[in-house]
Structure 1
Amino acid sequence: MNILIEWIYKTPKGTETIFRSEEMPAAQALLFAEDMERTGRTKSIAFIDRFDSSWTVKELKSYLKGIETEPHNITVYFDGGFDHATSRSGLGCVIYYEQSGKSYRLRRNASSAELTSNNESEYAALYLCLQELELLNVHHLPVRFIGDSQVVIKQMTGEWPTLEKVLLGWADRIDKKMKDHGIQPEYELVQRKSNSEADRLATQSLNGISITATSEMP
């Protein structure tokens, strides 16, 4: 989670003013805040997240301690494919995360006969990833979403407008689920070769191979 620090600074003569920092990782912000408190001239320190929620020092310490045993440092790869011959879609999802000092990889795929295009399949794959994050109880964390679909990445970042009604519906559902769980998305567009795991899962799904697996990484 990235946050900014807001604090009141008091001079030796009692003059006060309010300062705000730039955004930074929560753990780093806590270190700065603790150092500022030691000066004796700082009071009313608060931490503000991207959803304008305010956290006290005590609340942030509790949060950071709590996520040690919950999934964090999360990177998600997604890919969707559409077979025009069968009108079926294959969805691939790969999630890398850390929990309790260990690293894990979750792989999941799914198929659908209800989608109508490759772009819609890509959106559905991203939504599948969000469902898996929900099952992992991921909340109020930054998450990197990596895919090779220019349409999805550029539309979700606002770089391209979402004009098709069907795709807009998917984008709205994705945005809502992100906000409901406090997920702070960071999108990254990559070449297809850099998204091979998710691509392979989507293809396997089209071929009738279903995969749901979580493994510990070395």
Structure 2
Amino acid sequence: MTSAQPRRLIVEADGGARGNPGPAGYGAVVRDAMTREVLAERSGYLGIATNNVAEYHGLIAGLEAAAEIDPSAFVDVRLDSQLVVKQMTGEWQIKHPHLQPLADRAAQLAAAFGSGRVTFTWVRREANAHADRLVNAAIDAGYGPRGGATPVASGTPTRDASAGGARELLAPSGRDGRGAGPAGGVVGADEVRPIPNRVAGWMPAPPATTLLLVRHGVTSFTLEKRFSGVGDPPLVDQGRWQAKLLAQRLAGRGGIDVVVSSPRQRCRQTAELIADVLQQPVLLDDDLREVDFGRWEGLTFAAVQQRWPRELELWLADTSISPPGGESYDELRLRITAAAQRLANRHRGKTVLVVTHSRPIAMFIANALSAPVAAIYRVQIDPASMSEIDYYADGVTVVRTVNDTAHLAAH
């Protein structure tokens, strides 16, 4: 394959739920655009989720599979969800906050192929039959045979369970034509309003994936209040002591299925001290690394303020601005959004201990609360603290604990 003849792929993606929300799954097929040969299939069961959440999972799975085949290919993504197609092309806004992280991840995957290399095409459901079969097979495998019920595609009328009747929900038209959809366009109930009463503690829910977010113990940079991002200082004695106290608490808590850590030394050391007590291996995930502070790495705030006063002012005022040679908080959000989705999907229904850094933990919390990026400035995350977030398959997140240091206060 020469550069004059780039490879062309077709992604057929679908998702569906038996009920809205209900048992849900996704499917995706990657084909060679010239021969129509099937190159890859992806599918999965999501638990209880909405149609639109399932559609986005199908899209993400398809793009990931295509990237594994050829990350520089031209890709035509075909979906029978008009909603997802129009949201991905920017014609419709994303009104539901629980879809935003999924849309962001899909956009990130599409952008990685290169500008203009990924297109989105709406097709009729019968043209998406292969992906639809994968959806049904995934739900059958994860939940059980449908017994006559069929998934409701997001392009079909959706009943509003809160209304008592069976009316269809129509998308309102925005004044500039960029509202939830054109007048008369049908969208899922979850796009018009949140699922009724779907707040913490109000409705029965399937088991959540729980992330226990632990910040590493103290390092010399922590004590000296230096910018510590991509640098690799080890734990000091106090930091190791903190990690051992936390390990004792987590051992008493029990129920931890997986331990995942940032690859930075301070996190690995913290994770290993805990994992030894829990008798668990430590998995590494590079997306859990701290934000990159660039040329400010290892410097104090006062030193940065003296040498880069204007750059520091801009950085503090705008989360899209990065330190010289570093990474912006907007970029960090994309990375943590992807990490959260991956951990929740890979370890569904389990409790995952995540050992990472202060800014990533603050971003996990901001994302879970649907808060703006700048909210991380208002979240205190102490060394060896623990925060807890539950992730449900329908996109709902519940923040249970923030910056818990009770294990340190007792000593």
Output the TM-score relative to the length of structure 2: 0.31
What amino acid does structure 2 have at the position aligned with 1:108?
R
**CA-to-partner distance for each residue in 1:122-146, whole Å, 9 max, x for gaps?**
001000111211221x223321011
SS of 1:112's equivalent? strand
The 1:189–1:182 alpha-carbon spacing in structure 2 relative to 1, beyond 3 Å, is same
CA contact (8 A) 2:16 2:25 kept: yes
SS of 1:188's equivalent? strand
Higher relative contact order (CA closer than 8 Å, sequence separation 6+): 1
- Name the structure 1 match of 2:71: 139
How far did 1:103 drift? 5.8
How far did 1:181 drift? 3.4
How far did 1:189 drift? 0.7
SS of 2:31's equivalent? strand
Task: Give the whole-Å Cα distance in 1 for the aligned partners of 2:136 and 2:60.
Answer: 17
The 1:207–1:86 alpha-carbon spacing in structure 2 relative to 1, beyond 3 Å, is farther
CA contact (8 A) 2:14 2:26 kept: yes
Deviation above 4 Å: which 4+ runs of structure 1? none
Size of the aligned set, in residue pairs, is 140
- Out of 79, 99, 104, the position equivalent to 2:14 is 79
What amino acid does structure 1 have at the position aligned with 2:124?
Q
How far did 1:107 drift? 2.5
- Name the structure 2 match of 1:53: none
The 1:84–1:182 alpha-carbon spacing in structure 2 relative to 1, beyond 3 Å, is same
- Name the structure 1 match of 2:85: 153
- Out of 112, 115, 121, the position equivalent to 2:54 is 121
Task: Give the whole-Å Cα distance in 1 for the aligned partners of 2:21 and 2:97.
Answer: 23
- Name the structure 1 match of 2:43: 109
- Name the structure 2 match of 1:57: none
SS of 1:166's equivalent? coil
- Name the structure 1 match of 2:312: none
How far did 1:162 drift? 0.9
- Name the structure 1 match of 2:25: 90
What amino acid does structure 1 have at the position aligned with 2:93?
P
What amino acid does structure 2 have at the position aligned with 1:205?
A
The 1:63–1:163 alpha-carbon spacing in structure 2 relative to 1, beyond 3 Å, is same
Task: Give the whole-Å Cα distance in 2 for the aligned partners of 1:80 and 1:94.
Answer: 12
The 1:208–1:175 alpha-carbon spacing in structure 2 relative to 1, beyond 3 Å, is same
Task: Give the whole-Å Cα distance in 2 for the aligned partners of 1:86 and 1:168.
Answer: 18
Task: Give the whole-Å Cα distance in 1 for the aligned partners of 2:129 and 2:37.
Answer: 18
- Name the structure 2 match of 1:181: 113
The 1:118–1:185 alpha-carbon spacing in structure 2 relative to 1, beyond 3 Å, is same
Task: Give the whole-Å Cα distance in 2 for the aligned partners of 1:171 and 1:146.
Answer: 16
How far did 1:89 drift? 1.6
Task: Give the whole-Å Cα distance in 2 for the aligned partners of 1:62 and 1:197.
Answer: 30
Task: Give the whole-Å Cα distance in 1 for the aligned partners of 2:110 and 2:49.
Answer: 24
Task: Give the whole-Å Cα distance in 2 for the aligned partners of 1:201 and 1:110.
Answer: 8
Task: Give the whole-Å Cα distance in 2 for the aligned partners of 1:92 and 1:161.
Answer: 24
Identity of aligned residues (%): 27
- Name the structure 1 match of 2:306: none
Q: Which moved more, 1:170-179 or 1:117-126?
A: 170-179
How far did 1:97 drift? 1.3
Task: Give the whole-Å Cα distance in 2 for the aligned partners of 1:174 and 1:82.
Answer: 20
**CA-to-partner distance for each residue in 1:179-213, whole Å, 9 max, x for gaps?**
2332721111111111111111101111118xxxx
Task: Give the whole-Å Cα distance in 2 for the aligned partners of 1:177 and 1:144.
Answer: 13
The 1:174–1:199 alpha-carbon spacing in structure 2 relative to 1, beyond 3 Å, is same
The 1:164–1:193 alpha-carbon spacing in structure 2 relative to 1, beyond 3 Å, is same
How far did 1:85 drift? 8.7
- Name the structure 2 match of 1:205: 138
What amino acid does structure 2 have at the position aligned with 1:83?
R
Q: Give the RMSD, CA atoms, in angstroms.
A: 2.6
Task: Give the whole-Å Cα distance in 1 for the aligned partners of 2:121 and 2:20.
Answer: 30
How far did 1:87 drift? 3.5
Unpaired stretches in structure 2, ≥5 consecutive residues: 143-411
What amino acid does structure 2 have at the position aligned with 1:121?
A
Task: Give the whole-Å Cα distance in 2 for the aligned partners of 1:85 and 1:171.
Answer: 19
SS of 1:197's equivalent? helix
CA contact (8 A) 2:74 2:113 kept: no
The 1:142–1:208 alpha-carbon spacing in structure 2 relative to 1, beyond 3 Å, is same
- Name the structure 1 match of 2:276: none
SS of 1:162's equivalent? coil
What amino acid does structure 2 have at the position aligned with 1:91?
Y
CA contact (8 A) 2:74 2:118 kept: yes
How far did 1:102 drift? 6.7
